[in-house]
Amino acid sequence: MAESTAHVTWHGSLLEGAGTIESVGSGVFSSLPITWQARTGEEEGKTTPEELIAAAHASCFSMALSHGLAGAGTPPESLEASATVTFVPGTGITKIALTVRASVPGIDEAAFLEAAEAARVGCPVSKALAAVPEITLDAALA
Amino acid sequence: MPRIVREADIEWEGTTARGSGVVRATSSGTFELPSTIASRVEIHEGKTSPEELLAAAHAICWVTSLGSELARLGTPPERMHLKCTITMDEVEGQGHRIVASHIAARAVVHEADKATLAEAAAAADAGCPFSALIRGTATVTYEATLEGGS
């Protein structure tokens, strides 16, 4: 079992106020500024829940794919993945688009695409976010 | 309402077990973080994990919902502090699953009593898009307390 913790503080109202991700358990980041404007309009150097979800999903997918490829006897040299989260205020997250470009010695395209699809379906973040209407994947060998 | 798109990427070198990655916030440019599988399932060693990023996302989502609900009830908050803990566990036959997210909120709210905060917190949990998203697959729980006031 693994537990992960994050601390956030917020001052004032939603529209005029502002918040900070004060700390996370790993200590790897702190003092990330957040505002509602950053979430719905221009980012202006502030992060949002949707950006953090995109980061979580891209990392989870990468780990699952590299694990699957190694398990099949074709470990990857490198993977570059991205996740793009679409958020509609009032509705929620409507779509997550995953992309991956991978350098995998000795694999054919069909086997790679199969492993990528398995990671899209099976990674813990994909499973946790199964309620998102659309999770797409664009996978290719580099 | 307009659609809002946010993006992050990761570059991973090598296998899951022995490799490592760097997660970047490509939309805002606010972070670039190291990540490994060991930091995810064992000790973090100063590296982040998908679950820690989700905990940060849920904390922000919930705190903005709580602030909105308190304002709607006529008692806008002065300050709120919120901790989110996400639990990933190995579930028999299903591998690693995110099984729970717990929110602990403390709020400084002038003129709000416990009942008002309880009402706002219940509405915040019902309205937080992230809570709604993961409730189908994980247990979402919360506690909310007033700090330094009536």
A-B contacts at Cβ under 8 angstroms: 311
Cα-based torsion angle of the residue sequence B116, B119, B122, B128 in order, rounded to the nearest 10 degrees: -70
CA atoms within 13 A on the CB side of B62: 36
Q: For chain A, percent helix, then strand, then coil, each to nearest 5?
A: 35, 35, 30
Between A47 and B114, whose confidence is greater? B114
Nearest CB among A21, A22, A70 relative to B15 is that of A70
Paired tokens of A25: 């358990």
Burial class for B73, CB neighbours closer than 10 Å (0-12, 13-18, 19+)? middle
| Residues A111 and A141: beta-carbon distance below 8 Å | no
- Average pLDDT for residues B21-40, to the nearest whole number? 74
- Average pLDDT for residues B129-144, to the nearest whole number? 92
- Average pLDDT for residues A28-46, to the nearest whole number? 73
Residue A43 has pLDDT above 70, yes or no: no
pLDDT of residue A114: 97
Cα separation, B103 vs B89, in Å, equals 18
Nearest CB among B39, B40, B60 relative to A49 is that of B60
Question: What was the ipTM of the complex prediction?
Answer: 0.84
Touching check for A100 and chain B: CB below 8 Å? no
- Measured between beta carbons, the chain A residues lying within 8 angstroms of B10 are 55, 58-59, 62, 79-82
Say whether B4 and A81 touch across the interface (CB within 8 A). Answer: no
Nearest by Cα to B137 from B86, B72, B103 = B86
Nearest by Cα to B77 from A107, A10, A75 = A10
Interface residue of B18, B28, B66 to substitute, partner A, most A CBs within 10 Å: B28
Residue B1 has pLDDT above 50, yes or no: no
pLDDT of residue B121: 96
pLDDT of residue A14: 66
- Measured between beta carbons, the chain B residues lying within 8 angstroms of A27 are 44, 46
Say whether A50 and B57 touch across the interface (CB within 8 A). Answer: yes
- Rounded to the nearest angstrom, the minimum Cα separation between B70 and chain A is 9
